[in-house]
């Protein structure tokens, strides 16, 4: 299976995904693309020998469709079977999502369906939750709402700040996403609980 990964920043999840696709893994990375040409993850991907592309959304002010059309060029050229959004911070239109629906995954730093959107850790702490975590789900046109493929849970500890909780969750993201991708690429069903 050919996997394209979309990032917006450091790409720590992308790195773990790329590093996991070796040996008898059913998938291989064919592209890492970003909406930010300065994304540090692009150099990290190139360092691992993965082709990269960047399309700046800032070149398409108030023109989401134009940005997506430009992004589709390198994306379709890579002939991906699976797309992984990994720290990708742009909202995709329904039209874009529908082109890949059923084979586009995303990782979100909360135990969905709780806390879709931003600032998930501050919201979980403010709510007094005992647990937080990350979710890998299939992408549908509604934000952070598709079928869940896997979740990882962590405790929220006394004195946690959004930063300390984010670090604890991110470590679990790095375990969860590669395992969910491997199972998804192998055609396995079920929800992975870590």
The catalytic residues are 108
Run of H or E residues at 76: helix 64-77
Binding test (CB under 6 A) with ligand GRF, winner from 173, 178, 180, 184: 173
Shortest Å distance, C-beta 35 to ligand GRF: 12
Strands 104-108 and 131-138: antiparallel
Q: Which of 4, 5, 6, 13 binds ligand GRF (CB under 6 A)?
A: 13
Give the residue with the Cβ less far from ligand GRF, 100 or 115. 115
Residue 118's nearest CA partner among 8, 17, 44 is 8
Q: Which residues contact 40 (CB under 8 A, 6 or more apart)?
A: 9, 10, 11
With respect to ligand GRF, which residue has the nearer C-beta, 30 or 107? Answer: 107
Cβ atoms 52, 39 nearer than 8 A? no
Q: Residue 114 and residue 111: Cα distance in Å, rounded?
A: 6
Judged by beta carbon, residue 66 or residue 168, the one nearer ligand GRF is: 168
CB of 105 to ligand GRF, least distance (A): 12
State yes or no: residue 37 binds ligand GRF (CB under 6 A). no
Query: Is 145 annotated to bind ligand?
Result: no
Binding-site residues: 11-13, 64, 89-92, 106
């Amino acid at each position: 299976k050919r996997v394209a990964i979309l990032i917006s920043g450091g790409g720590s999840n992308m790195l773990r995904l790329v590093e996991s696709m070796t040996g008898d893994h059913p998938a291989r990375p064919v592209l890492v693309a970003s909406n930010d040409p300065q994304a540090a993850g692009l150099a990290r991907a190139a360092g691992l020998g993965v082709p990269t592309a960047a399309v700046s959304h800032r070149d398409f002010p108030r023109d989401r469709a134009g940005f997506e059309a430009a992004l589709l060029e390198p994306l379709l050229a890579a002939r991906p079977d699976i797309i992984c959004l990994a720290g990708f911070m742009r909202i995709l239109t329904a039209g874009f999502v529908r082109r890949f629906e059923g084979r586009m995954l995303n990782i979100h730093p909360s135990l969905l369906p709780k806390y879709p959107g931003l600032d998930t850790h501050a919201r979980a702490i403010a709510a007094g939750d005992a647990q937080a975590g990350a979710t890998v789900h299939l992408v549908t046109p509604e934000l952070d709402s598709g079928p869940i493929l896997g979740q990882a849970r962590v405790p929220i500890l006394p004195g946690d700040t959004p930063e300390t909780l984010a670090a604890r969750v991110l470590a679990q993201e790095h375990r969860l996403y590669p395992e969910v991708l491997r199972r998804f690429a192998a055609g396995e069903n079920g929800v992975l609980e870590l």
